[in-house]
Structures are given as C-alpha cells and as structure tokens.
Chain A
Amino acid sequence: MTAIEFPSQRVSLWYFRIALVLFILQVIMGLWLSINYAFTLPQALVDVFAFNTARSIHTNLLVAWMLLGFMGGTYYILPVECERDLYSTRIAYLQLAIFVLAAVTAVIGFLFRWTRGKPLLEIPFPLNALIVVAALLFIANVAMTIFTAKVRSALQWMLLGGVAFLAVMYLFGMPFYQNLNTDYYYWWWVIHLWVEGAWEVVTASIVAFIIMRVTGVDRKVVEKWLYVETGLFLFTGIVGTGHHYYWIGAPDYWLWWGGVFSALEPLPIVLMVVDTWMHVRERKNPIINPLTWYYIVGLAIYHLVGAGLWGFMHTLPPINYYTHGSQVTVSHGHLAFFGAYGILNLTIFYFAMPRLKNIIKYQDRLGRWGFWIMTIGMFLLGLVFGVAGILQTYLERFLDIGYSTAQITMMFWFRIAFGIGVVFLIGVIITVWHLFTIKPAPDQPAETLSSERGPAAEGI
C-alpha cells in the first residue's frame, strides 16, 4: 500500500528538500543581519561583506524557497486533482535544475556585487531570463497536465490561474525604469500583487486541497469557499496595491482607494479562519497526525494576525505616514511572510513528505518542538521589531531626534531580536531535521488511508 496515488507526485520531494535547505540558510542570513543591527562591526568587514549583500541573500532565499514550495506543492496536488500523472516529470526536474542553478548563481553573484540593486529583485538580467524559462516550463507542464486530464475541478483552474498570475507579475520587475517613482510603482506590481494577490490564490487553493483531503469535507463546500475567498482576496488586494503609493508622488485619491480597499484585506483571511475552523469541526475523518493539524490551524490564525491585523493597522494612511519605512515594516514583513507563507509551505511539507515516504502516521514529538519554538519565536520577534519600530517612529518623527541617535536608543531591542533569532533558528533546524528524517509512528492505523482517500476521491 502506498500513500501517494501517482508516481509522478514524487518529483515534489526534491522541491521540498531544497526549499528546506534554503529556509535554514535564509534564517542564518537573517541572524547575521540582526548582528549588523545589534553590534558595531569593523569597517574592514563591512567593506567586503556588507549589510546590503546579506539582505539581498536573505530576501532572495526567502522568495526562492517560497516558490519552490508552491511549485512542489502544485506538482504534488495536481496528479490527484487531475487523476493522472504529471504531463512530464522530465520537465519538472529540468525546471527545478534551471531554477536552482539561477538561484545559486545569484547568491554567489551577490557576494561579488553582481546585482541589479533593486531590493528583492536584485537578480541580474541573464539569471532573470533563466527564471523566466523555468517558470514557462512549469506553467506549460501544469497546463498540459490539466488540459489532458479527464476530470475537471475548480481547484485545477484556480491553481493554474494563480501560478500564471504570479509569473506574469514577475515580468513587471524586469525592465530598467528611468523614473524612480514609476520604478516603485511597478515594483509593487511584483511584490504586492504577489503577496496580496497571486500567492494568496495559490495558498487558498493548496489549503483547500489539503483541508479537503484530511477532513473529508465535501468538495462542493470547499470549492464554494475557495471561490468566495479568492474573489475577495483579489477584489481587496488589487486596488489595495494603492497602500504602497501614498508617498511615492501619486495623486491624492490613492490615499482613499488604497486605504479603504486595503482596510478590507483582512476580510477574506477572516473567512479562511472561519472555514478552516468549520471544516475541522465537521470533519469526517479521524485526526491521524495532530501536528499537521497544528499547522493548518496555525496557518489560519497566524495569517490573520501577521498579514491581516498588522497589515490593517500599518496601511491606514494617517498611521502609515509615521510608520512607513521604519522597523514597523520589518515587524509586519516577518509576521506576514512567516505567518502566511512560511507556515503554508511547512503545512504542505508536513502533509506531503510523510506520504511521499509511505508513512501514514508519523512520529511527531520533535516536530512539535519545532512548531512551537518557531511560531512563538517569530511572534516574539515580530513584537520586538514592532516595539523598535514604534520607538523609532516616536523618536525620529515626533521628538525630532536624528536617525543615528534613534538607532542607538533602539539597540537594546535589536539585541533582543538577535537572541530570539537564535532560538528561532534552533526551531527551524529541529523542524527541518524532523522533516528530513520523518519516521512512522509505532501505532500505524491500518484502515485510515482508504477512508481518507474515500470521500475526497469520490468528489472529483
């Protein structure tokens, strides 16, 4: 008896493994950044390996492991949704190789100052071209799998639409814009329309799939929620892009349109929490792996707090006037990225990786430690950055104290952030270790697998 239904689902394993390694590297680099903040480094070191280089590595690794998780997750889900193997596993591996090659070259290039110097989108043009090739291969593979399938589901289209939207938006970050204000206008087409648009669609689809599989709740119900949630995500998120245009030199009405739509952005997330909660309560299947459930529920709550609540407060124009471009953004960024997308990827990994190793019920003691250390650690980190940010805002923008004096006053909090970062890294290492060495629990339920497949498979 195997836990996966189609052999081609196996390609996702390599995506997950590489993503997990990049996750660790990203956090190590983050720790290094916090050292840059918390202590005075010698000029000689700053001259050869400066904060900007480390930051580009930190953020690019983030994007890379997120995308690997999404792509791997899509490859895992798609055969089940389409009731056929992937169109091509060769393409899937080729695409992975190209993507990883580009990512590794980019990181090495950064060390030698080969960069476009545009935050989060630093990758130079030739490597961007490689990324585009990889993305095209991916989308072609996904589309062909869907087109040649005999079954149709809303989830298939939502996934395809989400990843295609994601890829198209990336193109807007590639040209050189002469005008800084236009440059940042389109920079947000990538960054915002990713995290508050395309990525949300992908997340909602993947979560819908996982919830359907583990709870056994009826497909019709899940897909209905999916339509409403993604509809609201895109309705609020697209015009909500305006919350980044308050201070770039744009007409006044952006304050209203951006402010109001972005204030509505938590709505679909609230819906997601509600529907996760309802489906968990009305589940038809027994809970086999409690840790996977922790992640599913944790994702909903963290998503709401980090992205929804923090985002809501930070993007109201009268507040944003003071908090924009301060450590408050750092706080929001960490809580939202980890809460919405970090945990999403880990949910996918905990759902898929045991199955890829034919494990139905896994030993989760270590993984629970990882879960609690990471989630609490990141929450505290968000709070500490938030305190530092409010302090910065108050000192610089109310008391009129200069930047460097304010930063010295914030030093205490940067040191605490460093300490929490160490703890967080430990949580990450535990989690990654646990996922890599995942083992079956001694008490394997014999009949559960078929019952888990049953209702969902029928619904297709």
Chain B
Amino acid sequence: MATATNRMLGHLGDSVERLEDPPLVTGKGRFVGDINFPDQLHMRIVRSDHAHGKIKSVDTSAAEAVPGVVAVWTTTDIDDVPPIDFREGSDPTLALFRQYALARELVRYVGDPVAAVFAEDPYTAEDAAELVTINIEPLPVLINADDDPQDFKGKATTEAAVVEQGYGDIDETFASAYKVVEVDVKVSRHTGVPMECRGAIGRYDEARDVLEMYGAAKVPHRNRDTLCRMLNRPASGMHLFEGHTGGGFGIRGELYPEDVLVCVAAMRLRRPVKWIEDRQEHLMAANHSRQQRHIIRAAVAEDGEVVGLDDELYLDQGGYIRTHGTRVANMTTGTLPGPYRFPVYRSICHFRLTNKTPAATYRSPGRCESTFVRERLMDAVAVAMDMDPIAVRRRNLISLEEMPYGRALDVLGDSVEHDPGDYAGLLDQGLAQIGWDDLQKQLAERRANGEMVGAGISMFFEKSGLGPSDGAKIFIDNSGFIEVVTGGASIGQGFETAMAQIAAEDLGTDYRRIRVVHGQTNRIDYGVGAHASRATVLTGTAVSLTAQAVRAKALDMAAELLQTTADTLTITDGVVHSKDNPTGPSLTLGEIAEALMPTSKLLGGREPYLKGEEWFHIDHQTYPYGHHIAVVKVDPDTGGVEIEKYFIAYDIGRSINPMMIEGQLVGGLAQGVGGALFEEFTYSEAGDPQAVTFADYLMPTLKETPDPEILLTEDFPSIRTPLGIKGAGEAGITGAAGAIASAIDNAIGIPGAVTETPVSPQRLKKILSEHGK
C-alpha cells in the first residue's frame, strides 16, 4: 500500500511544471525531422518562380539522371489524385479554387509546387530539383485584392465568394445618424512562422496495408479523413501520428500538398518518403494570413453611441483556397462587433484570390484583423465626437445585465452568444491596476517636454471551444498507471500537462502519474485536434467527464472490496480510502484495476477494466474577453517605436495552470508586436515574394519584445462548460496591433495616423513628415 508522503501535485489552478519539458530540455524530443525509417527517400519540391502562368512543359530528364535520384514527378504522374479538399467537407461553390498537390496547367503563386524529386539524401534531392526546368508562359499577375478581379480558368472570377453578415437596417440607420465616421484600414500579410518548419513522412506498411503519415499536427483526425477521401482508403488503413511539434499557430497541421505527396509516394515508390521543409520554402509555401483592407463606417448618436456599423472588406486569399474554405471571412465578419453592442451591423467580405501564397488561419484568425479595424474605428469615433477614447468604449460595451448576449451572426456555424462577462468591470480593474489617470498625466508632461510618448487601448472578445463534441478515454492498469487518450493535439501549448491536471483532479492522483496521448489516429477514432483554442475547453471537459466516470467505477469496486458504500470513500494520491479514516483500510488504484481484470472473480456484472470513455457536447462557443494597453515612445528622427510598457487584462473563466496561461498571453503578444511593428510579406509587382528569409521577415528578438504586466481574472467562468474553462491561446495577440497603433497616434499627436500595419520606421517617418513633424 502506498503512503501519501509527497504532496500531490497538479490540481486545477496549480502552476505546476509541465510534463512536456523533460524530454525537450534534454534533446530527447521527437520532432518530425528526428524520425527516420530504414531505406527512406527524401522529397524535394520544385516550385514555380512565376506568380501566374501556363505550364507549357516540365523537363525532368536531367534531374532523373542524377545518381541517387529515384523518381521525379509532375502532375501527370499523379493525375488520379484529386485537389486537396476542405477540412469540413466538400463545398461545390468553392471546389474550382482548390489546389492540386502538383500544379496542373497553371501556376498561381511563386512557390506553387510543380514537381517532386525523390532521392537518397536531401542534398542530392536538392541538386536534382535545381535541374528540373519548367517552361511557363506568363499570365497577368494580380497582387492586390482590392483591384478588379480577374478571370479564373475561364469559369469564374478571382472573387471566389462574397461573405456577408449583419442585422438591422443599415441604410435607415446611417441616414438618420448624428455623425458618420469612416476609416480605411489595412492589415498586412503575415503568418505564424513556427520555429520548426513543416515536415512529413509517408510510410506504407504493405504487410498490413496501412498507410502512415508522421509529422501530423493540429488536426490529425480531420486530415486522416480528408486523405482517406482523396486517396480512397478506409480509415482503418490510414494513420496519422503527431510527434513533438515545434509550434503551430494555426498554420501547421493543415493538409498541404506536400503531405499528400509523401503519402502517395510512399505507396507508389514502396519506400518511406521524408520531406522536411526549408525556411525559404516555408515563407512562400506554408499558409499566409491576415491580409485585409476594410472600409468601415460608424453611425454615431449624439451621446457617442455607435448605432450602426457598416463594413466592406477585401480579403486577400492568395493563389488557391486551401483546407479552410472561407472560414477567415466568416470569422472576420462574425466577430467584428467585438465586445460592443452595435445594434445595427453589416459586413461584406470580398473573398478574392490573388497571385500570392494561399492564405488561411493564423492564431486568432478573423479576430486579430477585425479587432484592429474596429478599435481603429473606435479611436476615430472618439476624435470625431471629441470624447475620451475610454469613454466612447464604455458607452458602447455590452453590459453584464444584457448577458448572455446573442447576435444574429454566425461564427463557424455557431450563432454568436456572448457568455456572461463584465466587460466594463474588467476595464475598470485594468485601468486601476495600470494607474491610467496618473499615466495620462505623466505622458502629457513628457509630451510637453518634447517627448513623443503615448498610451493606447484595444478591447476585444475572443472565441474558443468550437464544438460540437469531443471524447476521451482513460485506462488505469494494474500498476496504477493512468493513460488518458485524447483526439487533441499538442502544438507546444502544454496540452499534456493541462489534460493530466484535469484528470488528476478527479482521479485523486499526482498529475505526473498520468500519460496523455494525443494526435494518434490509431488510438482513438475521433479528435478535434488543437485549433480555435478548443483543446482545453472541449477535450479538457471530455477528459474531466471521463475521469469522473472512472473515479465512480473505482469507488464502486472499492466499496465492494472494503465492504462499505462508495460515498464514504475518496481517492488521495492514487489510494482509495475512507473519507473519515485516511489511515484505515485502503486500496490502490492498481489493486482496484486488478480486481476489474476480465478474468477477475471479483468483476461481478461490471464491464472489465478500470477504464472509461465519455463525450462532451457544447452548444455554443465560449467568449473570453479582455483588453490590451500599450505605452510607446516614438523616435521622431528615425521613426522607431519603443514599447515602454504593456498590459494585458483577460478573463479566463477558470484557469487550469495559470503559469501556462500567462505563457500563452506573453507568447501571443510577441507575435502581436511582430505583426504591429515588424512582420510583413511584401511582393513585387511581378508577384515575387520579398520576404523569404529571416533577414527580411522580421520576427522580434527579445530586444523588441515587451514583458507585459498581466491581470488574469476568473470572474466569469463559462456557462457552457462544467469546469467553466474558456480558451487562452489567442488573447495575447488579438489586441496588440490596436493598442500599439492607438498609442502611436497618441504619442505623435496625430489622431488616426496609423491606418496600416506593420508600423515600420519608414511608414511612421512618412506620416510624421506629411504632418510637418
């Protein structure tokens, strides 16, 4: 019998160390690049260097002649492989715009895969890839989504869809408004850029007729389903495996051309095929995101209430529509009103293809963009109405009394219904903590002394826990070791630790006794993966429900063995004992598991094994909320911006591990600062990408990244989940650009100056000189 000498670690709300860390700090991680199979081939993609054109011919003969090259494929070698389908199933209206694994007839962006070389080692593969010559007849290049659409394959135009959402009578509202305020705001193109590039290994096990793909991430189950559809395989004969994952941020783990290619090649070449993306490829081939231009108007009443919002936006989708379909358009138009009431609303999104890298989701998709746009507008309203920017926001926030607050808007098939939350209350707390009034005084004084310093705010609501369902399995063996099997995915966010903490709570064990399985399609049939901050919310709740069921089963068995009733028992550190008499008769979970073995005489009428499987269904997403405050100093001579202070307030509902949540916020902010001040994918007029190295795509180092002060509250646990959990993955980035832009306006004394991110020194210098500063 075990004695509970060590304090049990890992209850809900404890900032315990992560289960993930030991292998990662000792170099024992298993990232996709670290996985090798005997006899594997290395794939190298030959990419288009034209942004738009007709493929006249592809000559692979020189590449094929290189010693060590096994095969070189073009689209004709895989003409039976359909284009990559949408994650949520087929969509006939968008089908035309999908991407083939290797370009067929047309290339549509620089980086479009045209051929694939398979060779004995990566160096040889790259040598051979250089020898493939592609003859392309150039076609006109479309760079800007707000330029007129062009023809698409003679069957459509590049305006693939128009996504419109809204409610109320826009025309009437604007006609009778006291004032109409309009801004024209651009969000530039940037993306997640995880430190580990993508990678995939296809392996075909002929003996069992099972096709395997390693290097899966984010949504392994969904990708398995799509691959099965495309390659015509049963789900039992196709398995995806997630190893360690060097960051996801929404972009890794979607089903990309290269993933399809390694799978097809493994089957046809009958050797394992490994592909590791290089950084230059990554910056032109992995999903981009964000690029939008909004022309947005507010109808304002005399007291500052925004009575109507009318938005028209151009979303730059790039060369094709990938697995997400129009999700970003949907999320942008569905979340644009944010934490404000806005009784009348319309947003029309022109979802347009261009000749650039295809775009999709990046951490806080749709919200990051719409928050920037909306908060720029709120600042403009404040100026137009001669009101304080905080006062304008207060005037329009949805109040606690109105919660839960529904709107006739759709976000990913779910109608928006804000969970209860006190937006104004958190704002008060935040302003008090940062000492907003004093701060304003100090900044005003410094400005009077000639410094360009200022503060800005950005309010937002997030969405998390997209449904409908997720399940989990728990198995306790007769040594008392616990395995939690989920269909979640771990992209670096501490998923294993969070799940272990949740399970430990009900199983009465130390979280370190729990192994958490994720991202293995052969271990569980279904999984939501890790996106849209849903892992902790959905999977976590499923784990919790399963742990409760297993606990009940353990106590039931123990009650029989200890000749008492289950309600008198509890579990501490893996030992079941009487609530009243902790040192009395007891059983370990292992002993109980032994009693529940299929051959056990004690089984009675019970299902064998100490295990369980439960499901959680959610009706609506959860909507956590918060705000960002930035204090910046501008160097008028160089146009450089220094962030002096940064503050994030966020209501998480209930935190599993505050340390990890803060980590998410701080990390998200670093990306937010990148997007606000540094990162940008620019293109030449000919469509050549100009940021394909880390010397051009500027991700912040620690010198450029602020260490924010964080106010994490648990004032409003979500009513949608039994644990009250809301997601935390995205709140660090959502408000960043808005707060920084607002602070810059304030610092330079030019309201509405910032209309575009990133605010590079050159852009800022130009603004200053245009205003004679």
Do A and B assemble together?
A: no
